[in-house]
Amino acid sequence: MKNIIRYLIILSAVIFAGCDSESQYSIYRVNFVFDKSIHPYIQVNSYGQFICIKNGSTAGQYKITDAMGNTQTVNIPEIQMQMNPFHYGLGGLIIGTPMNCDGNIWAYDWACPTCDNRRHRVEIDYTIGHAKCPNCATIFDLNSGGIAIEGKSRPLWHYRVYDNAPNVIIQN
């Protein structure tokens, strides 16, 4: 009887060792809301177009880099800061509609998941939808779910996206 139990324990360990229990969603706090019908947010509606969001240099601001690589600072209304303040994950957000996924808006963390450090934001090549970590040189494909196409890494962290037209809510 002891041998049967031992065998079942070993068999269970072997079977479940190959299972991937790692979540695709990041543990870092995110809360960001935007209206996808106004510029520059409207760009996320187009397949293969991505915008990037990170906190600004002062409280009450964030910076947005559009699909052309242009950056601007946005002031957050005081009422928004009091009611439901924005949080941007570890390194900020990459938001867009990947070409090879489900046709929905996706949100990734801007920080490299291998380096797991806010200072190691991936650099976006907006023309082909790739992101490269300047620290570890891993390249991710934003149009295929943020998978690593060069280097050994897990995919970019994802955040939950709720499309409640015209507003998009990104939270975890």
Task: Select the more confidently predicted residue: 89 or 7.
Answer: 89
Q: What is residue 1's predicted lDDT score, i.e. its pLDDT? A: 54
Return d(Cα 158, Cα 109) in angstroms, integer: 6
Write out pLDDT tens, residues 113-171: 999 888 999 999 988 999 999 999 999 999 999 999 999 889 999 999 999 889 999 99
Residue 165 token pair: 């037209």
Look up residue 157 and give its DSSP letter.
P
Predicted TM-score (pTM) of this structure:
0.82
Token couple for 39:
């510029």
| Closest alpha carbon to 92 in 127, 62, 114 | 62
In the three-class reduction of DSSP (H, G, I as helix; E, B as strand; rest coil), residue 171 is classed as strand
How, if at all, do strands 106-109 and 93-96 pair? antiparallel
Looking at residue 79, what is its pLDDT?
Answer: 65
What band does 55 get if pLDDT is binned at 50, 70 and 90? confident
